[in-house]
Structure 1
Amino acid sequence: MARTPPHDRPNTRFHGRVAGTGRVCAEPGCDQPGEFRAPPLEGTPPGRDGPAEYRWLCLDHVRAFNSRYNFFNGMSPDEIHEAQRPYAGWERETRAFAANGADRPPRWADFSDPLDAIGARFRERVASERQRQDGKPLSGADRRALNVLGLDQDTDRRGLRQRYSELVRKFHPDRNGGDRSMEKALQEVIAAYQHLKSAPAFA
Structure 2
Amino acid sequence: MNLNSPLFDRIRTRREAKTEPSPARGTVCSHPGCQAPGEFRAPMGRLREGQYFCFCLDHVKEYNATYNYFNGMSDEDVLRYQKDAVIGHRPTWKMGANRAGVASAGMQDPFHMQGAKAGKSRTPKHGVVARKALHVLGLDDEARPAEIKGRYKEMVKRLHPDANGGDRSNEDKLREIINAYNVLRSSRAV
| TM tier relative to shorter chain | 0.3 to 0.5
- With the length of structure 2 as denominator, give the TM-score of the two structures: 0.38
| TM value normalised by structure 1 | 0.36
Structure of higher CA gyration radius:
2
